[in-house]
């Protein structure tokens, strides 16, 4: 009996997904644990494998490579070789998980003969479904590129014949399209110089859509208020220099902030909390989310039990997360469970800013860059180095005095880093 496999929900915020690549063709035998497809979610591109009970011959592909579909849309159909699934595709009741009503509009025109929809000549043909597509891009015989690279090229209007591939065998991959800079012809240059108007429409990615939705919900639901403090970073700079002189791995200022914030959260548990509607949840553990900028937006991988980890361990973990985020290899376990969030834009030359709370967290810390400024010490104006911190608080869960006390503790740790060892 036919088995319907729907678009899975691979993250708690996922509402739709993009099939980046199929690893199985119509007619292949599917077994438990077999890699079926790569699915791009709002946060990463993840492998999708056949679960227990999902075995049989791949009879139908409902979502082609490069296509977007909501969660629970018909992804594919498994069954016995030669099994008639025409009734299923037309809206009949399937034997396995029901999702037949969405199957009809999702059918990809991969086979011209109506009587034999399972006799697909080649899965690569599904890439040609989206239109309009430049012929050179869709001609697999002339251009070797990943499905995701082809889709991006179509969106950006890039001729793949002009793109150099960095993948295996010269295959064009996503990073090649992203980094491609077309040569400006004399005619185009002349028109730009003459003041011609123009614009480019870039479709929103799954990540960008999710960021927009969640931050809008946070900003317009949680009553934000902001507390700012200036930290003297002279001692922190000296401590970091000493540590890096003997440490195997370099310690960053961000590592110091994460550690200091984690220790401060243990002393001020009200900040380490979440608004849950009918109650406030105060966490005993400290899981610090560290915002990481990626091409399509922002991800927040989580350093778990940050208060109990060394500076080197925190640094190594953050670096690993950053690389995985850029490669879209983060897993749900990497970004779930934060109790507090830190967003650091100091490395981009930003002096100070305010951040939107990463719900359901009660607070988020915005970290600016270290500035060389005149400061007053012992009644004398001397050169100094300061850093500005801004704490965004959800007033439903945190009051001003509570947030201020947390910032004072954080300031003390950073201005006397040796106290973090006590």
Question: pLDDT by residue (tens digit) across 122-175?
Answer: 443 333 334 333 333 433 345 777 767 777 777 777 877 788 888 766 778 778
Question: pLDDT by residue (tens digit) across 190-201?
Answer: 555 566 788 888
The CB density around residue 186, as the number of other CB atoms within 10 Å, is 7
d(CA 346, CA 388): 9
**206-421 carries CATH number 3.30.559.10:** yes
d(CA 273, CA 287): 11
Q: What is residue 301's predicted lDDT score, i.e. its pLDDT?
A: 93
Write down how long the chain is.
Answer: 422
CATH 3.30.559.10 residue window(s) in the chain? 206-421
d(CA 141, CA 321): 38
Give the helix/strand (H/E) hosting 103.
helix 103-106
From the list 62, 56, 13, the residue with the least C-alpha distance to 37 is 62
Q: What is residue 127's predicted lDDT score, i.e. its pLDDT?
A: 39
User: Residue 285 catalytic?
Assistant: no
Token pair listed for 340: 């507090």
Mean per-residue pLDDT over the chain, rounded: 83
Question: pLDDT by residue (tens digit) across 326-355?
Answer: 887 888 889 899 999 999 999 999 999 999
DSSP 3-state assignment of 150?
helix
Give the helix/strand (H/E) hosting 225.
strand 224-232
In this structure, what is the dihedral angle of CA atoms 122, 127, 133, 137, given to the nearest 10 degrees? -70
Helices (H), 157-307: 174-179, 186-193, 206-221, 234-246, 253-267
Question: pLDDT by residue (tens digit) across 1-15?
Answer: 789 999 998 877 788
d(CA 272, CA 309): 17
3-state SS of 172-189 is ECHHHHHHCCCCCCHHHH
d(CA 302, CA 274): 16
Judge whether 305 and 287 are in contact, CB under 8 Å: yes
**135-193 carries CATH number 2.40.50.100:** no
Peptide bond into 360 cis (omega under 30): yes
Q: Which CATH class is domain 3-128?
A: mainly beta
Catalytic residue among 23, 285, 385, 395: 395
CA 181 to chain centre: 24
Judge whether 409 and 233 are in contact, CB under 8 Å: no
Give the helix/strand (H/E) hosting 411.
helix 400-415
Q: Classify 259 in phi/psi space as left (phi over 0), alpha (psi -120 to 50) or beta.
A: alpha
Binning pLDDT at 50, 70 and 90, where does residue 47 land?
Answer: confident
Question: pLDDT by residue (tens digit) across 229-273?
Answer: 999 999 999 999 999 999 888 999 999 999 999 999 999 999 999
Above pLDDT 70, what percent of the chain?
A: 83
């Amino acid at each position: 009996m036919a088995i319907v496999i729907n678009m899975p929900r691979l993250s708690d915020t996922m509402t739709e997904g993009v099939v980046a690549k199929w690893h199985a063709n119509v007619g292949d035998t599917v077994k438990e644990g077999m890699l079926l497809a790569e699915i791009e979610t709002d946060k990463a591109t993840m492998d999708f494998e056949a679960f227990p009970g999902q075995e049989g011959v791949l009879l139908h592909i409902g979502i082609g490579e490069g296509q977007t579909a909501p969660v629970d849309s018909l992804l594919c159909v498994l069954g016995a070789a030669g099994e008639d699934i025409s009734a299923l595709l037309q809206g009949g009741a399937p034997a396995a998980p029901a999702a037949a009503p969405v199957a009809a509009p999702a059918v990809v025109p991969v086979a011209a003969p109506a009587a034999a929809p399972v006799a697909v000549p080649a899965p690569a043909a599904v890439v040609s479904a989206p239109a309009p597509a430049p012929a050179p891009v869709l001609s697999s015989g002339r251009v070797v590129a990943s499905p995701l690279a082809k889709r991006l090229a179509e969106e950006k209007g890039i001729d793949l014949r002009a793109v150099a591939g960095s993948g295996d065998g010269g295959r064009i991959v996503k990073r090649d399209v992203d980094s491609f800079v077309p040569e400006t012809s004399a005619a185009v240059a002349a028109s730009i110089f003459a003041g011609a108007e123009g614009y480019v429409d870039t479709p929103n990615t799954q990540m960008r859509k999710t960021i927009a939705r969640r931050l809008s919900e946070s900003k317009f639901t949680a009553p934000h208020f902001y507390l700012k403090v200036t930290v003297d970073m002279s001692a922190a700079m000296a401590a970091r220099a000493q540590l890096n002189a003997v440490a195997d791995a370099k310690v960053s200022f961000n590592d110091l902030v994460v550690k200091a914030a984690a220790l401060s959260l243990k002393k001020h548990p009200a900040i380490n909390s979440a608004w849950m509607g009918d109650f406030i949840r105060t966490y005993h553990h400290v899981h610090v989310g560290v915002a990481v900028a990626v091409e399509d937006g922002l991800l927040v991988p989580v350093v778990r039990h940050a208060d109990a980890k060394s500076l080197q361990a925190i640094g190594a973990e953050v670096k690993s997360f950053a690389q995985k985020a850029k490669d879209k290899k983060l897993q749900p376990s990497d970004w779930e469970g934060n109790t507090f969030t830190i967003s650091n834009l100091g490395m981009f030359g930003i002096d100070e800013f305010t951040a939107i709370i990463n719900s359901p967290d009660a607070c988020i810390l915005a970290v600016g860059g270290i500035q060389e400024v005149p400061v007053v010490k012992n009644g004398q104006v001397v050169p100094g180095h300061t850093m500005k911190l801004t704490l965004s608080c959800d007033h439903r869960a945190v009051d001003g005095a509570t947030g201020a006390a947390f910032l004072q503790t954080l300031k003390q740790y950073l201005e006397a880093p040796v106290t973090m060892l006590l």
